Each structure stands twice: as structure tokens, then as C-alpha cells.
């Protein structure tokens, strides 16, 4: 059985563990705590047979939603989980009257860029040497919602 559910503050250590498994530049425990307690954030898990296999952390800045983190455990990638999480965020944005979803991605992150392109994100701009850890340009992308 597959389901998407809200991440609670009690899930902090699970998010920390996912961050370390998925990202080279994992968020700190403090940052995760701030994210999970921020009232303007929407944070979701994707579960398969009650096992967490992906998650998304996002923040609502009045008229747009920013995807801050999206990750799927390696063994579950390519199963549409990232896309399902984006679809869920999009449906919540529509309910809340939010007209745009934005994000930034490393230019070398081909799988993520493919996922976002497939989902309808367009490139807005490039921020040179945006990432300080493992220096790289960031591609800023967004999707307008009707
Ligand atoms: C980016 C990410 C969240 C996508 O999640 P996902 O569940 O694998 O994505 P989906 O299954 O919805 O795939 C969408 C597309 O990406 C492709 N894809 C992405 N990652 C893939 C992988 N590891 N293996 C196979 N296909 C992959 C799929 O082929 C699919 O495209 P297609 O249908 O045209 O073939 C996931 O690759 C990930 O966690 N990456 C590491 C963390 C990361 O880089 N996060 C984004 C930071 S901006």
C-alpha cells in the first residue's frame, strides 16, 4: 500500500537519516527542526507498505511554494515517487490558491532536472556558483499553476 502523509516534529530523526542517505550536503538537525515547526511549511513523506521511501520539504512564501528538499531513497528511484510527491504539493497549492511552485537544482543533477521537466517545470534563470559546498551553478525552475 502506498500513501503520502504529513511529517511531524517527532519524525525529525527519520528526516535527518534520510538527508544523510540521500544528499551530499545534508541539512542539520537544527535546520530540520526549524522546517518541521514552521507554520508556512508543508512537509510530506511517501510511504510504501508503511516504509518511508521519499519525502518533500516545502515552504509557502505567500504567492508561491518553494520546494526546498525532495528526495527518494536510491532503491525506490524511477518508480514515480518524486512525481507523486510533486503532484500532491501541486494539489495542495491549488486548494490554497497558490499560483506557482519554484525550486533550484544543481545543473549536474540530470535525474532531478528530468523529473522536473516531465512535471512541467520551466527554467527561469541560472545562478552562477550558487552552491558553496561542491561548487556548482544552480538552475532556478518554476511551474505556474492555473
Ligand atoms: C530527483 C528524485 C527526487 C526523483 O525521484 P524519483 O521518484 O526517482 O522520480 P520519478 O520516478 O518520478 O521519475 C521521474 C523521471 O526521472 C527519471 N529518474 C529519476 N531518477 C531516476 C533513477 N534513479 N533511476 C531511474 N530513473 C530515474 C525517470 O526515468 C523519470 O523519467 P521518465 O519517466 O521520463 O523516464 C530522485 O532522483 C532523488 O531522490 N535524487 C536524489 C536527491 C535529489 O537530487 N533531489 C533533488 C534536489 S533538487
- Please report the pLDDT score of residue 62 as a whole number: 86
- Please report the pLDDT score of residue 49 as a whole number: 94
Residue 83, ligand 1, Cβ within 6 A: yes
Say which CATH number the domain at 67 has: 3.40.630.30
Instruction: Tell me how far the alpha carbon of residue 77 lies from the centroid of ligand 1, in angstroms.
Output: 6
Residue 78, ligand 1, Cβ within 6 A: yes
Q: How many domains does the chain have?
A: 1
The pTM of this model reads 0.95
pLDDT tens for the chain, residues 1 to 146: 889 999 999 999 999 999 999 999 999 999 999 999 999 999 999 999 999 999 999 999 988 999 999 999 999 999 999 999 999 999 999 999 999 999 999 999 999 999 999 999 999 999 998 888 778 999 999 999 98
Structural domain including 44 reads 2-144
Instruction: Tell me how far the alpha carbon of residue 108 lies from the centroid of ligand 1, in angstroms.
Output: 13
Nearest to 93 by CA among 112, 119, 73, 117: 119
Atom of ligand 1 nearest to the CA of 81: 7
Q: For residue 47, how many C-alpha atoms fall within 13 Å in the half-sphere facing its CB?
A: 12
> Edge-to-edge strands of the sheet including 41-48?
2-6, 41-48, 51-61, 64-72, 100-106, 136-144, 122-131
CB 100 within 8 A of CB 80: no
Amino acid at each position: 500500500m502506498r500513501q503520502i502523509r504529513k511529517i511531524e516534529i517527532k519524525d525529525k530523526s527519520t528526516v535527518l537519516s534520510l538527508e544523510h542517505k540521500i544528499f551530499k550536503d545534508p541539512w542539520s538537525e537544527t535546520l530540520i527542526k526549524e522546517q518541521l515547526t514552521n507554520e508556512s511549511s508543508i512537509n510530506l513523506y511517501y510511504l510504501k507498505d508503511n516504509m518511508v521511501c521519499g519525502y518533500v520539504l516545502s515552504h509557502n512564501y505567500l504567492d508561491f511554494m518553494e520546494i526546498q528538499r525532495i528526495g527518494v531513497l536510491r532503491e525506490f528511484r524511477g518508480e514515480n515517487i518524486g512525481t507523486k510527491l510533486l503532484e500532491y504539493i501541486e494539489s495542495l497549492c491549488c486548494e490554497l490558491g497558490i499560483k506557482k511552485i519554484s525550486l533550484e537544482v544543481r545543473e549536474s543533477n540530470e535525474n532531478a532536472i528530468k523529473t522536473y521537466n516531465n512535471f512541467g517545470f520551466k527554467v527561469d534563470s541560472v545562478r552562477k556558483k550558487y552552491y558553496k559546498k561542491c561548487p556548482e551553478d544552480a538552475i532556478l525552475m518554476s511551474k505556474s499553476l492555473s
